[in-house]
Amino acid sequence: MTEHRDVAPLPLSRPYDLSDLGAAGAEIRISASGEELGRLAAWLEVPEVRDFTAQVRLHRRAADRFRYEAELEALVIQSCVVTLAPVPRTYRHVVRRVLEVRGGNRRRAADTDKSGTVTLALDEDDTHEELSSYRYDLALPLLEELSLGLDPYPRADGVEFTLPAGLDAPKDSPFAALAKLKGGK
């Protein structure tokens, strides 16, 4: 029997119907509201997110293939792992995706050359994402990149970790102790 867990909804969502995208493409600005910033902070498990803005550019490559490019900027307040002081950081990410709708049945004559061949090339730095429908959440790649890009151990400027008084650094590594147990030197 499979256990089902409640999955928290995403803190920010911007649905877009890719089938409506014209040949000229589209440029969409995403800016999180105050309420969305609060949900984003809870989702990222940080004290505060003060800003989250992105400029998303979409281009049609074929009837069922699209290019997603975005520039994200977010001001995130994390807690210092040593002092718990607030650590404000501005994160900037460039996000690129190639989106392909599987089972897409919308073919247009302009998508193929005279022989009926479609030639597509992926850039090496692009992430290929297969979609089951033309409906796509433009905020999803932004949320992924920001969550993966956060510093897992933020420290306030000038803060260094030192062992508390009375504690000495271990003299032997765990591997040295294991070697002694095995009869090594």
In the chain, what are the domain boundaries?
15-157
Q: How far apart are the C-alpha atoms of 25 and 60, rounded to whole Å?
A: 6
In this prediction, residue 183 carries a pLDDT of: 75
Q: How far apart are the C-alpha atoms of 74 and 63, rounded to whole Å?
A: 33
CB-CB neighbours of 70 under 10 Å? 21
pLDDT in tens, 114-136: 554 444 444 445 678 899 999 99
pLDDT in tens, 14-65: 999 999 999 899 999 999 999 999 999 999 999 999 999 999 999 999 989 9
φ/ψ (deg, to 5) at 25: 80, -165
In this prediction, residue 104 carries a pLDDT of: 52
Q: How far apart are the C-alpha atoms of 99 and 136, rounded to whole Å?
A: 9
The residue ranking higher by pLDDT, 140 or 112, is: 140
In this prediction, residue 61 carries a pLDDT of: 92
From 139, 126, 124, 70, select the one nearest 100 (Cα to Cα): 126
Across the chain, the runs of DSSP E, i.e. the strands, are: 15-17, 26-31, 48-62, 65-79, 86-101, 127-131, 135-137
In this prediction, residue 30 carries a pLDDT of: 97
Q: How far apart are the C-alpha atoms of 104 and 98, rounded to whole Å?
A: 15
The residue ranking higher by pLDDT, 102 or 28, is: 28
Under DSSP, is residue 17 helix (H, G, I), strand (E, B) or coil?
A: strand
